[in-house]
Chains A and B, each alone.
Chain A
Amino acid sequence: MTKTKKSRISPMWKRTVSHIFTKPATTKYPFVKPQLPDDFRGQPVFDIKLCVSCGLCSRDCPAKAIEMVEVEGKRRPQFKLDQCIFCYQCAESCPRNAIKSSVFYELATTDKSSLVIKPQTSVKKGA
Chain B
Amino acid sequence: MANIITWARVKSPWVLHFNSGACNGCDIEIVALLTPKYDVERFGVKLEPSPRHADVLLVTGCVTQQCAERLKRVYDQMPQPKFVVAIGACACSGGVFAGNYNVVGGVDKVIPVTAYIPGCPPRPEAILDGVVKLLNALSPPKPKKQPKQVKTPELPKEEAKPEVAKPEAVTQQEVKPIVEEAKPNAKQ
**A contacts B directly (C-beta below 8 A):** yes
Mark A residues whose CB is within 8 Å of B: 24-27, 29-30, 33-34, 62-65, 80-87, 105-112, 115, 127
Per-residue CB proximity of B7-33 to A under 8 Å, as 1/0? 000000000000000000000000000
Whether the pair B118, A107 counts as a contact (CB closer than 8 A) is yes
B163 at the interface (CB under 8 A from A): no
Q: Which of A34, A64, A106, A107 contacts B98 (CB 8 A)?
A: A64
Determine the distance from Cα of A24 to Cα of B39 in the docked complex, in whole angstroms. 10
Tell me whether A26 and B37 are in contact (CB under 8 A).
yes
With both chains docked as a complex, state the minimum distance between the C-beta of A104 and any C-beta of chain B, in angstroms.
Answer: 10
Chain A residues whose CB sits within 8 angstroms of the CB of B95 once the complex forms: 63, 83, 85
Contacts A27-B37, A83-B94 given: A111-B120 contact, CB under 8 Å? no
How many Å lie between the Cα of A81 and that of B96 in the bound state? 12
Q: How far is the CB of A22 from chain B (nearest CB, A)?
A: 11
Top 7 A-B pairs ranked by shortest CB distance?
A108-B130, A82-B92, A85-B120, A25-B36, A63-B96, A110-B186, A108-B117
What 8 additional pairs, Cβ within 8 angstroms, besides A62-B96, A86-B89, A110-B133?
A: A24-B39, A26-B36, A27-B38, A63-B96, A82-B92, A108-B127, A109-B115, A110-B116
Residues in B with CB closer than 8 Å to A81 are 118
Indicate the member of B113, B117, B127, B137 with the most A CB atoms within 10 Å: B117
* Chain B contact residues, CB within 8 Å of chain A: 36-39, 42, 89, 92-96, 98-99, 108, 113-120, 122-123, 125-130, 132-134, 137, 186
B89 touches A82 (CB 8 A): yes
How far is A80 from B134 in the complex, measured between Cα atoms in Å?
Answer: 21
Q: List 30 A-B contacts (CB under 8 A).
A: A24-B36, A26-B39, A27-B37, A29-B125, A30-B128, A62-B96, A63-B98, A64-B99, A80-B93, A81-B118, A82-B116, A83-B89, A84-B118, A84-B120, A105-B122, A106-B125, A107-B117, A108-B115, A108-B117, A108-B122, A108-B126, A108-B127, A108-B133, A110-B133, A110-B134, A110-B186, A112-B92, A112-B108, A112-B113, A127-B133
Q: In this complex, what residue of A is CB-closest to B43? A: A30
Q: How far is the CB of A43 from chain B (nearest CB, A)?
A: 9
